[in-house]
Structure formats: structure tokens, C-alpha cells
Amino acid sequence: MNENQDEPGLRITVLGCSGTYASPESACSGYLVQSATTSVVLDAGPGTSMELQRHIALEDIDAFILSHEHADHWTELPTLYHAFRWGIRRFHVPTYGTQGTRDLLHAVIPEALEHAFEWTVINERSRVTVGDITFTFSTTDHPVETLAIRAECGGRSLVYSADTGPDWSPERFDAPIDLMVYEASITVAAEGDGIPHVSGREAGERARAAGVGTLVLTHVPPGEDREERLDAAAKGFGQTATLAAPGRCFVA
């Protein structure tokens, strides 16, 4: 892992990492994945466009990829629609997401699909290439169709789990996985309660089984014990894990 944003290679910058709803410190889920020549936004949870613009101009975004239809992962798009159409006058930005996410955006603001976002429906069989980054997908253990996302460029790879319960593992992706951004929404005490998320311990164990190089935890709900997630993940992973925070950049 490297947190130097100036280094080349495949890197991911946290735009927001709060689970379920925004906290005083963070917007909801959003990440900027970049190579030396390509910039792709993974998820656009509410509030993420502020941090996004600290790292890149809206004109320079090459594509959006949305993991699923839950509101904390995509509902900045209506705001970005106004920015693209009436602000910077940019149209038909390549956008990839599930059918359910597209249907909800159409219900909220149908013009967005006519003007701002050129939508392609994806599923776990899809393969998307944007610039020099290739993206593949895996359906996770979540109540709606949800896609974990693997990005690969120049022989380096990273995986974003999106939201998932314990019946999914990054082992479903090809090895290696140099960097894993894994949700850790629940405590160890809440395991087995039927909540469709994982604990830090479960994230750590599954990352270790998949041979992940570096583990970053995300999607911790506001007010929850982040240190509990780290300690539990370290025990499951067999080495130190790191917490996501807005503006932090990790290099695969």
C-alpha cells in the first residue's frame, strides 16, 4: 500500500465512506479510481461530489460505475446531472450500473438519462474497459442486485466489495488482489443476526482467504466503533488493516 497520491499506478481515493447515511466527517459511499490516464468514479453516494471536485474537475471524469440501487451509493447523480447539464455543459458521460439503479434514476429525473448519463446496464458477466482500466464484477450477498467491482491496470488490481453479507468472498475474482476496499458495517456481536453486511472479522477472514495484499475497511455507520472494526479485521486478516477516510488515497 502507498498513500502518496502523486505516485503512478492504479490508485483509489476515498470520496465518502460512511455506511447507510452521512456522518459529520464523511459523505456516503464514493471512490475515485485512477491510472495515469484514466479516472472513473465508483459509486456516487449523497455528498460525494464535494470531495470529488477536490481531486478532479468534473470535465475530466471518464465514467461512472454504480454498484447497486441503495440510496447511499448513487443519489449524488441527480445533483451531478444539474452540474453536467446546466453548469459545465457536458453530455452523455459513460455510466454503468444495474438495471435497478437505472430505473430509480429514471423515476427521479428521467432527463438525466437523456442528457447527462449514457447508461449501460451491467451484471456480473459484464466486462467494462475505460481507458487503460478494465473492470469486472461479481454479484454479492445483498438484498438487491449488488456488484462487487474489480479494477485492473498495468498488472495491478483492486477490489471494492460494495455492500455484501457473509455469503460472498473476493475469492470469486481472479487473483491477485493487491488492494481490497471491504465494507465492515456490523460489529462481531451482530454476526448471525441476518443483517446483509459483514463485520471487520468476516472481512478480514475473507480477504486473507483471497490472498489480498492490503485491506482497507469502509462503510462503517455513523457513531459506530471504528477501532472495533480494525481490531476484528486484523485478527481475521492476520495483519494490520486500514480505515477509509475522505481524501485518503491508496495505491494498489
DSSP helix/strand/coil, 86: helix
Res 124 pLDDT > 50 = yes
Res 32 pLDDT > 70 = yes
Question: Which secondary-structure segment (H or E) carries 94?
Answer: strand 93-97
Q: Are 105 and 64 in contact (CB under 8 A)?
A: no
Confidence of residue 9 (pLDDT cuts 50, 70, 90): confident
d(CA 150, CA 2): 19
Res 168 pLDDT > 70 = yes
Give me the chain's average pLDDT, please: 96
Half-sphere exposure of 247 (CA within 13 A, CB side): 5
How distant is the alpha carbon of residue 28 from its chain centre? 10
pLDDT tens-digit readout, 131-167: 999 999 999 999 999 999 999 999 999 999 999 999 9
DSSP helix/strand/coil, 170: helix
Domains and CATH numbers, the chain: 11-245 (3.60.15.10)
DSSP helix/strand/coil, 132: coil
pLDDT tens-digit readout, 189-205: 999 999 999 999 999 99
Q: Is 79 exposed, middle or buried (0-12, 13-18, 19+ CB in 10 A)?
A: middle
Residue ranges of E strands in 161-237? 179-183, 214-218
